[in-house]
């Protein structure tokens, strides 16, 4: 995979050619070239290769830098090269150096930076909320992060499995069944109170009503038996999953695999795991329970996986599930909430104990989301029925705003969403600001319907044009950073900078100038490229790019 931007790759090739004429031999991918983000007149791009070689060859880096620069063949791509400080090589680029990037973008359009599918299969598991209620704020964040990451990985050539793990085998399912049962009895006329640990959201009443519509009074005033528990558990899981799937679809998220926890109990996976652990001598018996030797694989202590009464701890089916994923994927990526932080080493220890490679499991941790309005945080409690659901927020602010806000910060940082800003239709709302940039470009290019690609961009010498060209080159670099860090907020941040720079450019430069057709066409070439990057980037994070606003 192409790991750097077009310009960085071009500079690396220049440096390789120059180094071949010296005693210094370095592979192209080992040559450091970085974009100057500071805009501090120290070049557009810089390389520290001289400092790197100085240690190996025991020479002054400034002398090595001078020798390298003297061997760089002059061309029309570089306006100037200078050496600063201890041996930093700074490159000042001409507009022409960016021409080929614009050609590629305008030629490939929505397929720009898209690679052919390779043989690597990435499993991205995200959300995986218990089917005991509707999705809430935290689930919405995981959904936006997971689906955006999956989109970008797919765009960069990876095979991606989007997967949802359904926790349908724990005690929470029994609580769901009794909660629906009591609400059903209430709807039939019985005056029963919910047990203290019941689920109390309005979706429980809605589920009970649907159950009543289907069964009438068939279960009215009956004792809550194991048979009724089974009926209501199956109904409740199906009902909640249908609600979850509907909300995810409205959020622009489609899962390829819905994996039921209950299946690892039924298909022999748990027995297989227990047998392998015993064969590997990585489990032992103590006081009637089966323990995993997890401490020797990086956990802080050994863990019980089968209780003395023969029932399984939560960890055992979870290890079995991860072993299942392990053998059908090349890399496992779990988007997990902050409440799972203490669980990471346990699952990795479980994989290692099975002779699976725990380094194939990547955990992307997410932090809490707070919804703030008028300076007051809205507290959430799922069982108390006071959670703000994804459904609520989709109705309040819409898919585009909610998806963008949920990936606007690094996943491991806390996120506050100001509902008033999210609902606003001005530049205070970052989504409006982004989409308006795309709509503004469409308004501009619609004035020149017969536009044709220019043969040169040598007239794009305004400082804002240089900033845009460098940002355009940075798009590919940003996608690769997302792939290597699993952090899609980097693309959201990039798109904001691109939109901000375009708006500034629009305010400072007259794009369509009837007195200068060549300059007009060169500037239209530039804004067409910005349009495609905005549209493509927004699409990857699940946000629409409207042509009019």
Angle between helices 6-19 and 463-485 (to 10 degrees): 90
- Rounded Cα distance, 98 and 121, in Å: 34
42 lies in some domain = yes
**What is the reported pLDDT for 301?**
97
Q: Are residues 152 and 287 in the same domain?
A: yes
Q: Are residues 36 and 137 in the same domain?
A: no
**What is the reported pLDDT for 381?**
53
Could you give the angle at the alpha carbon of 430 between the alpha carbons of 424 and 434, nearest 5°? 115
Q: Which of 250, 272, 301 is the last residue of a domain?
A: 250
Q: Are residues 58 and 85 in the same domain?
A: yes
Range of the domain at 450: 425-540
Counted domains in the chain: 4
Q: Are residues 430 and 285 in the same domain?
A: no
Q: Are residues 263 and 216 in the same domain?
A: no
- Distances in Å between the Cα of 291 and the Cα atoms of 268, 294, 320 are 19, 8, 15
CATH code for the domain in which residue 483 is found: 1.10.730.10
376 lies in some domain = no
**Other Cβ atoms closer than 10 A to 518:** 13
**Other Cβ atoms closer than 10 A to 225:** 10
Q: For residues 111 and 539, is the Cβ–Cβ distance under 8 A?
A: no
Angle between helices 99-108 and 6-19 (to 10 degrees): 140
Q: Which of 189, 215, 250 is the last residue of a domain?
A: 250
371 lies in some domain = no
Q: For residues 500 and 468, is the Cβ–Cβ distance under 8 A?
A: no
325 lies in some domain = yes
Q: Are residues 196 and 214 in the same domain?
A: yes
**What is the reported pLDDT for 447?**
95
Q: Are residues 161 and 288 in the same domain?
A: yes
Q: Are residues 10 and 72 in the same domain?
A: yes
CATH code for the domain in which residue 341 is found: 3.40.50.620
CATH code for the domain in which residue 40 is found: 3.30.1360.70
Instruction: Enumerate the β-bridge partners of residue 46.
Output: 34, 90
112 lies in some domain = no
148 lies in some domain = yes
**What is the reported pLDDT for 2?**
47
343 lies in some domain = yes
Both structure tokens of 205: 């009443």
Q: Are residues 270 and 357 in the same domain?
A: yes
Q: Are residues 349 and 279 in the same domain?
A: yes
Per-residue pLDDT tens digits of the chain, which is 549 residues long: 445 788 999 999 999 999 999 999 888 888 999 988 776 678 899 999 999 999 889 999 999 999 999 999 888 889 999 999 889 999 999 999 999 999 999 999 999 999 999 999 999 999 999 999 999 999 999 999 999 999 999 999 999 999 999 999 989 999 999 999 999 999 999 999 999 999 999 999 999 999 999 999 999 999 999 999 999 999 999 999 999 999 999 999 999 999 999 999 999 999 999 999 999 999 999 999 999 999 999 999 999 999 999 999 999 999 999 999 999 999 999 999 988 888 999 999 999 999 999 999 999 999 999 999 888 887 655 555 567 899 999 999 999 999 999 999 999 999 999 999 999 999 999 999 999 999 999 999 999 988 989 999 999 999 999 999 999 999 999 999 999 999 999 999 999 999 999 999 999 999 999 999 999 999 999 999 999 999 999 999 999 999 999
- Distances in Å between the Cα of 393 and the Cα atoms of 144, 350, 410 are 13, 38, 21
Q: Which of 518, 510, 502, 468 is nearest to 98 (CA)?
A: 468
- Rounded Cα distance, 339 and 336, in Å: 8
* 332 three-class SS: strand
Q: Which of 210, 231, 250 is the last residue of a domain?
A: 250
Q: Are residues 149 and 84 in the same domain?
A: no
Q: For residues 101 and 8, is the Cβ–Cβ distance under 8 A?
A: no
**What is the reported pLDDT for 377?**
84
For the purposes of burial, counting CB atoms within 10 Å of the CB of 231, is it exposed (0-12), middle (13-18) or buried (19 or more)?
A: middle
- DSSP letter for 411, please: T
Helix (H) or strand (E) holding 441: helix 430-445
101 lies in some domain = no
- Rounded Cα distance, 385 and 514, in Å: 62
Q: Are residues 137 and 37 in the same domain?
A: no
């Amino acid at each position: 995979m192409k790991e750097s931007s077009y310009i960085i790759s071009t500079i690396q090739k220049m440096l390789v050619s120059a180094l071949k004429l010296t005693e210094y031999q370095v592979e192209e991918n080992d040559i450091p070239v970085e974009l100057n983000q500071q805009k501090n007149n120290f070049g557009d791009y810089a390389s520290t290769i001289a400092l790197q070689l100085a240690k190996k060859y025991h020479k002054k880096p400034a002398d090595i830098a001078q020798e390298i620069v003297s061997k760089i063949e002059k061309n029309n791509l570089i306006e100037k090269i200078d050496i600063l400080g201890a041996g930093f090589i700074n490159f000042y680029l001409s507009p022409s150096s960016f021409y080929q990037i614009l050609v590629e973008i305008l030629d490939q359009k929505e397929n720009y930076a898209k690679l052919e599918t390779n043989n690597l299969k990435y499993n991205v598991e995200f959300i995986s909320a218990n089917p005991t209620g509707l999705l809430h704020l935290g689930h919405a964040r995981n959904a936006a992060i997971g689906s955006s990451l999956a989109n970008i990985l797919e765009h960069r050539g990876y095979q991606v499995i989007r997967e949802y793990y359904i926790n349908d085998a724990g005690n929470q399912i029994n609580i769901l069944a009794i909660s629906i049962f009591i609400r059903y009895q209430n709807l039939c006329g019985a005056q029963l109170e919910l047990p203290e640990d019941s689920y109390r959201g309005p979706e429980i009443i809605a589920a009970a009503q649907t159950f009543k519509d289907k069964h009438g009074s068939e279960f009215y005033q009956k004792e809550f038996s194991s048979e009724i528990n089974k009926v209501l558990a199956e109904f409740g899981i199906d009902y909640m999953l249908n609600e979850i799937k509907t909300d995810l679809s409205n959020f622009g998220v489609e899962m390829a695999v819905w994996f039921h926890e209950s299946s690892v109990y039924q298909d022999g996976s748990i027995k297989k795991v227990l047998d392998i652990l015993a064969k590997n001598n990585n489990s032992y018996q103590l006081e009637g329970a089966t323990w995993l030797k997890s401490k020797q694989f990086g956990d802080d202590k050994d863990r019980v996986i089968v209780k003395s009464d023969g029932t399984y701890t939560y960890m055992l089916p979870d290890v079995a599930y991860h072993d299942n994923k392990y053998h059908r994927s090349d890399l496992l990526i779990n988007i997990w909430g902050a409440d799972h932080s203490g669980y990471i080493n346990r699952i990795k220890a479980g994989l290692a104990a099975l002779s699976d490679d725990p380094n194939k499991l990547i955990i992307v941790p997410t932090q809490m989301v707070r919804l703030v309005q008028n300076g007051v945080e809205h507290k959430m409690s799922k069982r108390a029925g006071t959670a703000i659901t994804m459904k609520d927020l989709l109705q309040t602010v819409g898919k585009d705003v909610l998806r963008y806000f949920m990936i606007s910060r690094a996943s491991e940082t806390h996120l506050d969403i100001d509902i008033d800003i999210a609902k606003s239709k001005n530049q205070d709302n970052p989504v409006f600001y982004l989409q308006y940039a795309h709509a503004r470009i469409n308004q501009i290019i619609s004035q020149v319907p017969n536009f044709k690609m220019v043969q040169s961009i040598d007239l794009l010498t305004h400082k804002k044009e240089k900033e845009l060209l460098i940002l355009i080159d940075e798009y590919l670099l940003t996608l690769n950073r997302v792939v290597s860090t699993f952090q899609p907020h980097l693309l959201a941040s990039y798109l904001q900078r691109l939109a901000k720079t375009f708006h500034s450019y629009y305010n400072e430069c007259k794009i369509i100038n009837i007195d200068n057709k060549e300059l007009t066409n060169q500037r239209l070439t530039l804004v067409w490229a910005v349009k495609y990057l905005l549209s493509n980037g927004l699409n990857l994070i699940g946000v629409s790019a409207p042509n009019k606003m």
